[in-house]
Amino acid sequence: MIGRDGSDIPVTRELRVSSVATEFTWDIPGSLPENSEELARASVVGVVIAAEKPLPTQMRGVAVYANGRLVNEPEFFGASDSSYAYAYLTGYIAVDGLDAIKPDVVATDRRAVNWDQPDAARIRALLQRMVEEIAQLRRQLRAAKKKAQIEEETGVDPDEWVDTVLGPEKEPLRDLIGIIESEETDMSDEDRGKAVKSLKDIAPPYADLVWRHLHPSIQSACESYFKEGDFHQALVEACKQYVSDLRAAAGLSDEAESSLFGKALGDGAGRLNFTSSFRTGSPAISGESAKNLENGQRELAKAIWTAFRNPLSHEPMATIKSLGVISHADCLDALSLMSHLRRRLDSATLLP
């Protein structure tokens, strides 16, 4: 072959694949765990590569050489070359034993082997298994590479990410990450990175907790316990945090929990009021409605404290967990109520 500079370029089997942007390479037979021994016994040696991008049709397939000369144009030896993976595979192998088969199985023009001959058919079956194994290995390597890319983009292992979501969104999230990882998804690495970053924004790790948009004070108090699956303790810590915040807002730092709610909340004796802004301007709520809201706030706070602060204090934690006394859903529902109470404190005014 004549190069652009007029020089002679020897046409070799290595030249055929030298210009391919390579993603993965397999040295035959050593790189194939399943078929290496059989390939070695048949003296099959060579190189198969997976390109970074789909190859032109004429480049796809594995060429066969015998004693240094081409004997079979590139093909996949009966493997299902309709698979998406085969659009990326090319390479060459040497099977010198083909020249020794009698009668001759190599065509006169040395471009095709008569694979119907029994000895040649056995070699072809071995080459088919070789190609199928390489296609499977490529799928595994690509999946691992894309998983690593997702982990790099998001800072979290995709499987661990999915496992943090316990609600009904878990499986759809797993399916969507699987689609992004799949080699069948025609997506550039750049677009894949953008997609997974956006997905993490929509469904971050521990999305059940995040989606509730809990008050920061409540979420901070319970988050580590929630992530550990200790839902009972998550509620206890959230209750304790609410009580602490309530004491601070009402100026009752030394008040016992049992009497705190009556002194800090409610119409009349309560020191905090969150309905004043609802009673001014137009429209406005009536004084009776404001009274009911304030009293409701007090009773709800007392009820949550009664339900979750200490009722299980005499039970071993292992028993509480094994029985599922406080489930994932129970925890989220109760935390939402605590978050509601805590937000009321942000808008409350301290009465004289």
pLDDT digits (tens, 9 = 90+) for 6-44: 444 444 566 667 778 889 999 999 999 999 999 999 999
CA distance 33 to 331: 49
Q: To 5 degrees, how large is the angle CA 70–CA 74–CA 77?
A: 110
Say if residue 144 is exposed, middle or buried (CB neighbours under 10 Å; 0-12, 13-18, 19+): exposed
CA distance 131 to 346: 66
Average pLDDT, integer, range 94-115 = 86
275 vs 253: CA distance, rounded Å:
23
- The token pair that represents 163 in the structure block: 């496992």
pLDDT at 82: 59
- Reduced to 3 states (helix: H, G, I; strand: E, B; else coil), residue 58 is helix
Q: Are 348 and 249 in contact (CB under 8 A)?
A: yes
Mean pLDDT value of segment 126-151: 89
Q: What is the pLDDT of residues 226-270, one digit of tens each?
A: 999 999 999 999 999 999 999 999 999 989 988 999 999 988 777
Q: What is the CATH class of 13-139?
A: alpha beta
pLDDT of residue 9: 40
DSSP-derived 3-state class of residue 40: helix
**Mean per-residue pLDDT for 288-317?**
89
Helices (H), the chain: 13-18, 36-41, 118-154, 158-163, 170-181, 189-202, 207-211, 216-227, 231-250, 257-264, 287-308, 317-323, 328-346
Confidence of residue 1 (pLDDT cuts 50, 70, 90): very low
